Amino acid sequence: MPGRFTVLLVDDSEEDRLLIQHSLSKCSSLNLIGELHSGRELLAYLAGKPPYRDASKYPTPDLLLLDAVMPVINVADVLLWLKKHPHPDLKVVVITGSFLPHVREQILVLGADACYEKPADPDKLDAILKEIESNLIKNPPKR
């Protein structure tokens, strides 16, 4: 069923956002509702601060696809903020170009639901998004 899960994409790389958008378009149960360019924008969005005050225009998504490495506010900052400002229905999946085992483990310890290496191959990215979609269908957010 198309649009079953809403997705907010946060990545400072326009090229990566375009690649992820393309892969998301192949996932019938994932509906991209917005994209942000920084951790700072994301925290304003989730906190409902200007310009994101209107919850009907800027709803909390079911799934947050988050780049790990962004200027100023990175994935660790976002995950720590989410611990202090819980969004219990929000699934957080990190996609990172820096896939050292200890970095992945730290991301999961900080509260991400999953962490994937950001592949250069579009087919591998498609497979990752299909896996994320499948996991959401099996274990949906509590709404």
Residue 100 inside a domain? The answer is yes
The pTM (predicted TM-score) of the whole model is 0.93
Which of the pair, 71 or 112, is modelled with greater confidence?
112
CA 113, CA 101: separation in Å to the nearest integer?
Answer: 16
pLDDT value of residue 143: 63
For residue range 47-56, list pLDDT tens digits in order: 999 999 999 9
**Taking residues 31-45, what's their average pLDDT?**
96
Domain that holds residue 46: 5-138
Residue 42 inside a domain? The answer is yes
Residue 52 inside a domain? The answer is yes
Residue 143 inside a domain? The answer is no
Strand partners of residue 52: none
pLDDT value of residue 96: 87
| CATH code (residue 14) | 3.40.50.2300
**Taking residues 6-10, what's their average pLDDT?**
97
